[in-house]
Structures are given as C-alpha cells and as structure tokens.
Amino acid sequence: MSTDLSPEKARRLEQENIRLRRAVEELSILNEIATAISSSLSIDQIIELIVNKCVKHLKVEQAAVMLLEQQQQDQMFKTMVRRTDRSGSNILPFRLDAELTGWMLKHERPLLINDFQQDERFSRLVGDDFPIHSLMSVPLL
C-alpha cells in the first residue's frame, strides 16, 4: 500500500489545512472577544479589543466602532475608536463624516462603497482631505 499523494490530492489537502487554520484563528478571536465581554473590562476596553482584532484579522487599514445613545440620537457618538494598521498603538478618536453615518442610521441598513469617486450619493465628499477610497459600514441595531 502506497502512502504517496497525487499532486491533486496534495493540493486539496493543503487547501483544507489552510481553511482549517483560518477557522481556528477566527474561533480563537471570537473566544477572546467573548471572554472580554464576560470580564470586568469597561465597554471602551472591549470595543478597543474588537477593533484591534478586526484590523488584524480582516487585514484592513482602519476599523471603527461607534456607539450611539438610543435615547439621545441627536448627540454625537458616546464611544468612537479607530485603529489603523500602520502603528501598533495608533488609537485615535474617530468621526466618520456625518453624511455617511447619518445615511446609515437613517436607512438602518449596511453601507458598502467600493469607490467613492463612482458613488453619486457621496461623490461630493471626495477630495484631498477625504482619503477614504472604499468603505463598509454595518449598523448593529
């Protein structure tokens, strides 16, 4: 009985191993977040952990979590955290343009923009002082 794998079987086995490693990593991240939520950490510390994990795992340039007080929706966000992948400790206050946030809150649905230059809803925002090229925003209501 031969234990040699055909090239096709070896390729499929490697792909399955990669898929399983990703699944383990995702479950590990979810476990860390669940542990943080059930701990005595503050809401700001939990959000910071979530943002950090999202930036690292999703390999994105930035991530933000913004909490809006349900009773005072006309006020600014209670918690705004942004993390960039450019620095290990670059956590900054974050305010996404009010038009984008307002659109998402008004329509109560996700907002996906692949290219701001081509999106007529927000094309007036594009410029040198608006360095975002694409965006995904999801309200958790």
**1-50 residue pLDDT tens:** 556 789 999 999 999 999 999 999 999 988 988 888 888 888 888 888 88
Nearest to 116 by CA among 134, 137, 100: 134
**pLDDT class of 52 with cuts at 50, 70, 90:** confident
Residue 3, helix vs strand vs coil: coil
Pairing label, strands 91-92, 62-67: unpaired
Residue 123, helix vs strand vs coil: helix
Q: Which pLDDT value is given to residue 95?
A: 47
Do 115 and 133 form a contact (C-beta atoms < 8 A)?
yes
Q: Which pLDDT value is given to residue 13?
A: 94
Q: Which pLDDT value is given to residue 86?
A: 56
Rounded Cα distance, 55 and 65, in Å: 12
Its pTM stands at 0.58
**103-139 residue pLDDT tens:** 777 788 888 888 877 888 876 766 666 667 787 887 7
- The first and second tokens of residue 132, run together, are 């975002």
Residues linked to residue 110 through DSSP beta bridges, in sequence order: none
Residue 141 or residue 115, greater confidence: 115
Nearest to 140 by CA among 82, 75, 64: 64
Q: Which pLDDT value is given to residue 57?
A: 82
Rounded Cα distance, 125 and 122, in Å: 6
Rounded Cα distance, 94 and 63, in Å: 10
Q: Which pLDDT value is given to residue 42?
A: 85
